Amino acid sequence: MVNLVEKCIYVLSVIYTVPREYKIGGHTAAPNSIRYLVSLKSTSGQHFCGGSLVHRYWVLTAAHCNIGAEQMMIVAGDYKVNIFEGTEQYAKPRILVIHPLYNRSTNNADIMLIKLRAPMVLNKYVSLAPLPRQGTGVAEGHVCRVSGWGYNSLEGGQVPVTLRTVTVPIVSTARCNSSDSFNGNITANMICAGYSTGGKDACKGDSGGPLVCDRRIYGVVSWGNGCGDAKFPGVYTAVSRFRRWIDQTIYENMTNT
């Protein structure tokens, strides 16, 4: 099983010396069309995870994207991650808040909030992500959209530069947990999305990015078994299970901004 923790580490150590392909089955997003999407970069400027701006001071991402606050930079307003376009805003993290139930082995509660040292300025390139209410769900078959600067395969290809996006339908937990798929490893804090024929999926570098359904972020790219495998849909952290935690965390940490 390929865990996106491993994918994230692999991105940091290898992808910028070995060319890679783009997201599986995706296409180039329109410039500045996904204004809440941010790039998490290492201090050397390498993109390794995505995230969503949910408050001027706060970014929502995956817990497994944690490489330490001192090792990362948050970039909003990005479109081509390796090219300076003049629309970017940069901020260093102040604190990283990982959900207390996060389990690195099972990927349960793979969600993290990053408080920025300085607020992002909202403009025509940067906006806030809309979140679902606590406990709301998305029906099986509902088509959602995942976006990021991730790769097309685990082997070979070209370094992605331009933001990519792809649509995928929600897969029921029962089907995703079947013996033909993840065999009981999908918890109540996860949702699955992908086609029964495979071929469209998130992949390395997409970790922490948004799965958007009905214009709200219902999922955070978490883990999977390969990329685009027909038997194994992409697995996302179910954001609606954590809406109260998100709001409470932001409220409790709003001092000393």
The mean predicted confidence, pLDDT, of the chain is 84
Choose the catalytic residue: 64, 201, 206, 240.
64
**What is the reported pTM?**
0.86
The pLDDT of 62-91, averaged and rounded, is 94
pLDDT band at 197 (very low <50, low <70, confident <90, very high): low
pLDDT of 161 > 90? The answer is no
Q: Which CATH superfamily is 142-239 part of? A: Trypsin-like serine proteases (2.40.10.10)
Instruction: Mark whether 196 is an active-site residue.
Output: no
pLDDT of 23 > 50? The answer is no
The pLDDT of 147-164, averaged and rounded, is 68
Instruction: Mark whether 64 is an active-site residue.
Output: yes
Identify the helix (H) or strand (E) that includes residue 9.
Answer: helix 4-13
Percent of the chain with pLDDT over 70: 81
Q: What is the pLDDT of residue 6?
A: 39
Choose the catalytic residue: 181, 207, 222, 240.
207
Nearest one of 114, 118, 139 to 193, comparing CA atoms: 139
| Measured torsion, CA atoms of residues 219, 222, 226, 230, in degrees rounded to the nearest 10 | -20
The CA-atom distances, in angstroms, between 76 and each of 54, 179, 207 are 12, 41, 16
Lowest mean pLDDT among 20-24, 50-54, 66-70: 20-24
Instruction: Mark whether 172 is an active-site residue.
Output: no
Lowest mean pLDDT among 111-125, 148-162, 226-240: 148-162
Domain ranges of the chain: 35-128+243-253, 142-239
pLDDT of 14 > 60? The answer is no
pLDDT band at 199 (very low <50, low <70, confident <90, very high): low
The CA-atom distances, in angstroms, between 6 and each of 1, 17, 57, 161 are 10, 17, 28, 21
CB 75 within 8 A of CB 89: yes
pLDDT band at 38 (very low <50, low <70, confident <90, very high): very high
Q: State whether CATH 2.40.10.10 applies to domain 35-128+243-253.
A: yes
Nearest one of 155, 154, 180, 173 to 219, comparing CA atoms: 173
Task: In whole angstroms, give the CA distance from residue 93 to residue 73.
Answer: 7
> Are the folds of 35-128+243-253 and 142-239 the same?
yes
Choose the catalytic residue: 110, 147, 206, 222.
110
Q: What is the pLDDT of residue 29?
A: 82
DSSP code of 211? E
Q: How would you write 85-98 as a 3-class SS string? A: CCCCEEECEEEEEE
